[in-house]
A and B are shown apart, each in its own frame.
Chain A
Amino acid sequence: EAGVAQSPRYKIIEKRQSVAFWCNPISGHATLYWYQQILGQGPKLLIQFQNNGVVDDSQLPKDRFSAERLKGVDSTLKIQPAKLEDSAVYLCASSPHLFLGTNTGELFFGEGSRLTVL
C-alpha cells in the first residue's frame, strides 16, 4: 500500500515570496491533515479536511495560509506571503473516515516538506 506522498521535499524562498505544497493521501482515506512542525517542537495542526470539507482550521493563519482539497483526494497548502517564522516542516497526514467504526484515530504521515524562509 502506497503511503502519503508529499512534494516538494525541500523549498528555500525569500520572505514575502509564495510557496505551495502538495499532498496525496493514502488511497481511500477520507480525512487529511496539514501539520506545521517547527524545529524542536511537536507538530501543530493547521487544517483538517474530511473528504473535501474543512473540519478544523482554527489554527491556520488565514491572512497568509490557505489550503484546499477540491476533489476530496489530494490537497495543496499555500503560503503567501511567507514570513521568516514560517520556516518549518509541513507534514501531511491521512486517516480513514473520522467516525468509521474501524478508525482508531491513528494518523499516517508523509515525509514532510521542509521550508526555509530567508
Chain B
Amino acid sequence: ELKVEQNPLFLSMQEGKNYTIYCNYSTTSDRLYWYRQDPGKSLESLFVLLSNGAVKQEGRLMASLDTKARLSTLHITAAVHDLSATYFCAVDLLNSGGSNYKLTFGKGTLLTVNP
C-alpha cells in the first residue's frame, strides 16, 4: 500500500522568510501533484510533476520531484500572508493490472504566514 508522508504537518513562518515542505512516498511513481486548500474551500491544483527532475515554479512557490529518492519538495520564497493555506501532495500509482491510476494524498501541511 502506498504511503505518502508530508512534513512538517504544521508550519508557522514570518513574512519574507523561506521554507521547504517535504513529501516522501513509499512506492515508485513518477506522477506527483501539489494542491492548495483554503479553509472551508475545495482543493486547487498547484503543480503537476510527471517525470524525474521535474521542476515547476509559480510566483513564490517552486515544486520539484526526485523519483529515485521518492521525494518531492515545495519551496516557499519570501513568504507572504496570502500563502497561508493547507498544502497537500498526492501521488498517482498505476495498479498492478495497468488499468487504473489511483491518487493517494498526504495529510497536508497547514501553513500560517505571520506579518
Measured CB to CB, the residues of A under 8 A from B are 40-45, 48, 55-56, 91, 93, 98, 104-112
Contacts and interface: CB of A to CB of B under 8 A. Distances in A.
B48 A110 contact: no
B100 A48 contact: yes
Interface in B66-115: 88, 90, 92, 99-108
Interface of B: 4, 31, 33, 35, 41-45, 48, 50, 88, 90, 92, 99-108
A109 B43 CA distance: 6
A108 B107 CA distance: 19
A105 B48 contact: yes
Contacts of B43: 43, 91, 93, 107, 109
A57 to B, nearest CB: 11
